[in-house]
Amino acid sequence: MSPDDRRAVEHDCARLIALYANLNDEARWDEVAALYAEDGVMYRPTAPDQGVEGRAAILAAFKARPPRTTRHVCSNVVIDVEGPATARGTSAMLLFTGESAPLVGSFHDRFVLTAEGWRFAERRGSLLFK
């Protein structure tokens, strides 16, 4: 893989992380779920041991949430390209809800290249401070 190809994967996966945060804050659940591979798995930071598997189940989980106003701030994004169709990433997360103190955590992601482009194969959130 050329350095330019590696940087393109890093960029695409980092963009996926930022897009996820923005769409989540806008409650655009169909678009959030579409960022996962069809068989992708989501682990919420508030329920790190309870995986939600499959795009349809992820969409249902988001739609079942009560409405709320949020702002996710993601930083310290590092993407490690494993091959032409797989990558891993980590990022720091700060969540403001207006209902409680900010939550501080992180995401550990696995990415896969699909016919739709790069998608989350697994998104695993965790909280450091509540």
Cα separation, 57 vs 63, whole angstroms: 10
Q: In what order do the strands lie in the sheet with 71-83?
A: 52-53, 36-43, 117-129, 103-114, 86-96, 71-83
Q: Among 64, 56, 53, 63, which residue's Cα sits nearest to residue 28?
A: 63
**32-55 pLDDT per residue, tens:** 999 999 999 999 988 889 999 999
**Hey, what domains does the chain have and what are their CATH numbers?**
3-129 (3.10.450.50)
pTM: 0.93
Question: What pLDDT shows up at residue 81?
Answer: 98
3-state secondary structure at position 120: strand
pLDDT digits (tens, 9 = 90+) for 68-112: 899 999 999 999 999 999 999 999 999 998 878 899 999 999 999
